[in-house]
A and B are shown apart, each in its own frame.
Chain A
């Protein structure tokens, strides 16, 4: 099992460029999440998905879009990158029973720099 994988690992963008981050999981988890982590901060939730074809906004969704066309994949898009989006992005997945979220499994992260 590869667990949660993310591509790319590193990326440098110019302001205004667009890109898509790909997250894939092979654990058949229903829930998937995108977080960003800035220096000295914990993780902040950008968007999440409770199943194929459904997405929802998290704490800091502005400037990002997501799609979950397949259960195993969760894409994070930046339409017009800004320097404030320089960060490390983590994808995670989890199972859930009723109203309780179980442990989340994290990918290795994507380090994005916007100049």
Chain B
């Protein structure tokens, strides 16, 4: 079963604008990760945020985590055409939750950056 659910399912914006994607999950987690997938390619890790962190930055990426609401958001600032891809959140469940060792992925947000 999907643990994370991304919102929106699809997002189209103009180059230079900011893009925000949200992820909600159901059980306690150790960490939450965001991945990017270009069409026909494997996933590439973007950023990991631990359950005791609230915000993390990496270049043009900003991730927030609210464990009380079981939600996370990914902000891409000053978007570029090359950011066009699908973005997935993935959670690793906390040991207390009895989670498996693998990550549980959402269905993804398909982001299109219009030039």
Contact = CB atoms under 8 A, between A and B. Distances in A.
B11 to A, nearest CB: 15
B104 A45 contact: yes
A42 B2 contact: yes
Interface size grouping (class) on chain A: 20 to 34
A109 B38 CA distance: 12
Contacts of B42: 4, 90, 106-109
B103 A104 contact: yes
Given A42-B88, A42-B106, A48 B30 contact: no
Interface of A: 4, 31, 33, 35, 40-45, 48, 50, 56, 58-59, 90, 92, 96, 99-109
Interface string B59-101: 0000000000000000000000000000010101011000011
A101 B45 contact: no
Interface in B26-45: 30-31, 33, 35, 40-45
Contact of A33 (B88, B94, B102): B102
17 contacts: A33-B102, A35-B102, A41-B107, A42-B2, A42-B108, A45-B104, A50-B101, A56-B100, A58-B102, A59-B1, A100-B30, A100-B31, A100-B50, A101-B92, A105-B45, A107-B42, A108-B41
